[in-house]
Amino acid sequence: MSKKTFKALNKTLLFFLVGFVVIVTVALVFIFRDGSESLLFKQKASGEVNSKIKTKTVLDYNSLGNDHELSDLMKKRKEKYGVDKGLDMIVKPGEDLTVGDDTVSMQNILDQTSLNKGNIIEKDLDEGKSGSLKYGVKGAGEEREALGEYGVYVVRPGDNIWNVHFTILKEYFETKNITISSSSDEPGWNGYSSGVGKLLKFSENMVSIYNLKEKRVDTNLNLIHELSKIVVYNMVEVFSLLDRIDDQNIDNLEFDGKTIWIPADQ
């Protein structure tokens, strides 16, 4: 092999090696950059998920009395409606609720009930008795804006729905300086239901009973396990009705099993 041929061959090999090194270097740069961006994206996504998890509000019934921040929050929410012992907690749709060993999303409860659909509506005056406001269960095609706070009462052994409602009514009316005696829900001398009795009966349309163990709507308060059921109220809906009632009209309520009439202010 001549010297000229040898030098040409070496020059060709040198160019090939340099080109190979450049290609490998560029490839490694792209691989490293893509890997870094992928890792950064995963870390960012993970951080966003963790951030959402951390900001998810879980209201733990078991901590009431020990968790002062939670207790203060519940007290503040209850004060707006004039209730105290009649409800254990007031929960919003975006929050979770823990009772005993069970945690449930309030939104999941609402999805199974009609509480967020505005089940009780104020009918047009023309549909009611003259000079009265008429409230009834929502019928087909009647819509109302969803409302955003829900009262929760944790069922205890021996509870019945009548007494649960009565406690809330008693506390609420005390804020309006209306005294409700323990016998005010009983029929009068003529056998007819009292105004409080009619209101309590109508209240059955305003709540749902939820079984925490079975994750479903229930129909009665009978307990199978301790801390297994809750009574849920649509707070804005309930108290928009109660705000219409005072000591002047409470004894003049009329109820037909589905609809209640409240005498309008004169």
121 and 49 in a single domain? The answer is no
Of 60, 224, 243, 72, nearest to 152 by C-alpha is 60
- pLDDT recorded at residue 43: 54
Chosen domain end from 28, 55, 82: 55
Residues 224-234 have a mean pLDDT of 89
Cβ 120 vs Cβ 138: under 8 Å = yes
83 and 37 in a single domain? The answer is no
Share above pLDDT 70 across residues of the chain, in percent, rounded to a whole number:
62
* Separation CA 239–CA 165 (nearest Å): 12
Domain of 111?
57-263
CA 188 to each of CA 9, 72, 211: distance values in angstroms, whole numbers, following the listed order: 119, 41, 36
Q: Is the pLDDT of residue 145 over 90?
A: no
86 and 104 in a single domain? The answer is yes
4 and 125 in a single domain? The answer is no
37 and 87 in a single domain? The answer is no
Query: Which of 26-35, 147-156, 162-171, 185-194 is the least confident region?
Result: 26-35
Query: What does the mean pLDDT of the chain come to?
Result: 74
Token duo for residue 101: 């060993």
35 and 125 in a single domain? The answer is no
User: What is the total count of domains within the chain?
Assistant: 2
Q: Is the pLDDT of residue 258 over 90?
A: no
**Confidence band of 33 (pLDDT split at 50, 70, 90):** low
Chosen domain end from 55, 81, 98: 55
Cβ 112 vs Cβ 216: under 8 Å = yes
72 and 4 in a single domain? The answer is no
Give the pLDDT confidence of 56-87 residue by residue, as tens digits: 789 999 999 899 999 999 999 999 888 999 99
**Confidence band of 10 (pLDDT split at 50, 70, 90):** low
23 and 71 in a single domain? The answer is no
Q: Is the pLDDT of residue 55 over 90?
A: no
Give the pLDDT confidence of 98-139 residue by residue, as tens digits: 999 999 999 999 888 766 444 444 444 444 444 444 444 444
State the burial class of residue 15 (Cβ atoms within 10 Å of its Cβ: 0-12, 13-18, 19+): exposed
- In the sheet with 58-60, reading across from the earlier edge strand, the strands are 58-60, 96-99, 102-105
**Confidence band of 1 (pLDDT split at 50, 70, 90):** low
- pLDDT recorded at residue 139: 40
96 and 23 in a single domain? The answer is no
- pLDDT recorded at residue 260: 78
Give the pLDDT confidence of 36-54 residue by residue, as tens digits: 545 444 555 555 555 444 5
